[in-house]
Amino acid sequence: MGKKVLLAAPRGYCAGVDRAVVTVEKALELYGAPVYVRKEIVHNKHVVQTLQERGVIFVNETDEVPEGQTVIFSAHGVSPAVHASAAARNLKTIDATCPLVTKVHNEVKRFTGEDTEILLIGHHGHEEVEGTAGEAPGRVRVVDGLDGAREVQPTPGKKLVWLSQTTLSVDETLESVRILKDRFPDLDSPPSDDICYATQNRQEAIKQIAPQTDLVIVVGSTNSSNSVRLVEVAKEYGAKNAYLVDYAKEAKVEWLEGVEIIGVTSGASVPEILVDDLIKWLAEHGFDDCEEVRAKEESLMFALPQEIRKDIKAAGK
């Protein structure tokens, strides 16, 4: 067959990431630098560095933002305690939380009105999980991976419901739910799946490509949960090797030895320019036949946060 690249589609920016990044860009236009953002606006090294060069200051907590300034909350969401902290410092807040993450927050709030304990399938320490769990302190138990599903010990006598982080492996999450339901037969499910459409679609695309490949290269950052999951899914579905890179320059020539077909995709917080650079690098090394393999069509778009839309209207922009 010769050397070939199978380029997964959809890939790259999802609607929530696009909304968050455009929110920061519009804030720079409206207010000028510096613009403060709590945590990384999205989990991508290139996006964060590019925005820093334009005058964005990323902080870990709101107490690092000067009183009275504007702070943008990242796409991963924040807890009510963070909102309260910002209010106490008289900060203007712009909430760029992905609407699909907000949906999970609302589910937590809905269930905390009942005598219920929530089993939140997700990764300890991930910003999305911290924000979601923060909606109901003491009422949420994080279930991290299959071992977490096997070992979690809920409070006796409580009703149980499971929810999940939006960027997990679809297959592993379903297996975690199966384990939990085997242990707790009365476990309730959310009204709809919490894993976001973009995570599912990108995993579905790589599942189609992986069995045909000798190598899969995923463009994405190591702190991007959905990017890391794509590497795992590629291996699970037949790729002989799979690697994660932020930039084309991180790819290694030795990966290409004995390789005929390479799969390429990118995480949901990755701009397409980084994929283009990798495709060029592969072409320079003999992989100049590139075929796009499309698993799903995507057309979803989210409106910008209300706070920024109001200021754009007032500025006549």
Residues recognised as catalytic: 128
Which tokens is 301 given? 């778009």
Q: How far apart are CA 79 and CA 195, in angstroms?
A: 19
Q: Collapsing DSSP states into helix, strand and coil, what is residue 290? A: strand
Which tokens is 176 given? 């975690």
Phi, psi at 269, each rounded to 5°: -115, 20
Which tokens is 203 given? 């995993």
Pick from 289, 313, 293, 315: which is nearest to 303 by CA? Answer: 313
How long, in residues, is the chain?
317
Q: How far apart are CA 296 and CA 159, in angstroms?
A: 37
Q: What residues form DSSP beta bridges with 37?
A: 58, 72
Question: Locate tokens 């920061």: which residue?
Answer: 24
Q: How far apart are CA 200 and CA 209, in angstroms?
A: 15
Pick from 76, 4, 80: which is nearest to 268 by CA? Answer: 76
Pick from 117, 113, 183: which is nearest to 148 by CA? Answer: 183
Contact call for residues 181 and 152 (beta carbons, < 8 A): no
Contact call for residues 279 and 264 (beta carbons, < 8 A): yes
